[in-house]
């Protein structure tokens, strides 16, 4: 009975992520096909990817950037829409694009016993004199799209030598994903130059 239970649990561990990922992909492709009235299954996702790429290409040119500016100006006039749009724009901009914010992984000391939390340095300066010498750190939550913003004294924040995307994956997975993203350090030992 113990062998059967263990085998069932192992099978579930292997199949559940595959099945859930497959379901999400099929659901997304099916919905896109329905919305775009695509005659060929899977064509919707291709059309959507091509459209997103084309819009990205256009915004890199004068006409596209003016159109985006015009649309943004309209969205900025509606109070609730403005809040939603600005929040989403800043969130996506923090992950991709030329002004990424989640590219400075840090460890924050939270007590004198060495306990640390992992996050991303988002602001290194405050104009308010009350917050002089402080920085802001965003702490993503594991298995969640939420997080917390904390303001801490600068001396409690220590930069980490890690790739931002892999560092985020490490935090989001609750530390289950291996953090093999150090740029110059491996298990505390410095790599020779050029590696």
pLDDT, position 108: 93
Are 110 and 176 in the same domain? yes
Are 71 and 137 in the same domain? no
Are 59 and 117 in the same domain? no
**pLDDT tens string 41-94:** 888 888 888 888 888 787 777 777 788 788 888 888 888 888 888 777 776 666
Helix (H, G, I), strand (E, B) or coil at 30: helix
Q: What is the CATH number of the domain that holds 137?
A: 2.30.30
pLDDT, position 154: 92
Please name the residues in contact with 123: beta carbons below 8 A apart, sequence gap of 6 or more. Answer: 135, 136
CA angle 119, 193, 176 (to 5 degrees): 35
CA angle 190, 191, 194 (to 5 degrees): 135
Are 181 and 109 in the same domain? yes
Considering the domain boundaries, does residue 117 fall inside one?
Answer: yes
Considering the domain boundaries, does residue 85 fall inside one?
Answer: no
Detail the DSSP E strand segments found in the chain. 105-109, 116-123, 134-140, 147-153, 157-159, 185-186, 189-190
Helix (H, G, I), strand (E, B) or coil at 65: helix
Are 66 and 111 in the same domain? no
Are 115 and 69 in the same domain? no
Please tell me which residue, 109 or 112, carries the higher pLDDT value.
109
Structural domain tally of the chain? 2
Are 32 and 109 in the same domain? no
Considering the domain boundaries, does residue 84 fall inside one?
Answer: no
> pLDDT averaged over the chain?
79
Considering the domain boundaries, does residue 50 fall inside one?
Answer: yes
Long-range CB pairs of 151-157 (<8 Å, 24+ gap) are 151/126, 152/108, 154/124, 156/108, 156/109, 156/110, 157/106, 157/107, 157/108, 157/109, 157/121
Are 69 and 129 in the same domain? no
Are 63 and 124 in the same domain? no
Considering the domain boundaries, does residue 90 fall inside one?
Answer: no
Are 40 and 113 in the same domain? no
Q: What is the pTM of this model?
A: 0.55
Does residue 195 register a pLDDT over 50?
Answer: no
Tell me the C-alpha distance between 119 and 107, whole Å. Answer: 6
**pLDDT tens string 114-149:** 899 999 898 888 888 898 899 999 888 888 777 888
Considering the domain boundaries, does residue 86 fall inside one?
Answer: no
Please tell me which residue, 50 or 98, carries the higher pLDDT value.
50
pLDDT, position 97: 60
Considering the domain boundaries, does residue 9 fall inside one?
Answer: yes
Residue 125 belongs to domain spanning: 105-190
Please tell me which residue, 26 or 190, carries the higher pLDDT value.
26
Tell me the C-alpha distance between 173 and 167, whole Å. Answer: 10
Are 7 and 58 in the same domain? yes
Considering the domain boundaries, does residue 126 fall inside one?
Answer: yes
**Which of 35, 59, 77 corresponds to the end of one domain?**
77
């Amino acid at each position: 009975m113990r062998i059967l239970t263990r085998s069932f649990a192992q099978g579930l561990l292997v199949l559940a992520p595959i099945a859930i990922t497959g379901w999400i992909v099929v659901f997304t492709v099916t919905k896109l096909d329905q919305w775009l009235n695509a005659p060929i299954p899977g064509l919707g996702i291709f059309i959507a990817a091509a459209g997103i790429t084309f819009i990205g290409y256009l915004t890199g040119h004068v006409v596209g950037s003016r159109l985006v500016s015009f649309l943004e100006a309209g969205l900025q006039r509606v109070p609730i829409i403005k809040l939603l749009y600005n929040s989403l724009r800043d969130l996506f901009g923090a992950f991709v694009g030329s002004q990424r914010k989640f590219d400075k992984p840090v460890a924050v000391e939270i007590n004198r016993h060495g306990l640390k939390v992992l996050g991303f340095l988002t602001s290194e300066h405050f104009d308010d004199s009350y917050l002089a010498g402080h920085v802001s750190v965003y702490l993503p939550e594991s298995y969640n799209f939420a997080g917390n913003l904390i303001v801490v004294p600068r001396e409690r924040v220590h930069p980490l030598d890690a790739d931002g995307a892999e560092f985020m994956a490490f935090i989001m997975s609750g530390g289950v994903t291996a953090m093999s993203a150090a740029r110059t350090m491996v298990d505390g030992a410095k790599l020779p130059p050029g590696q």
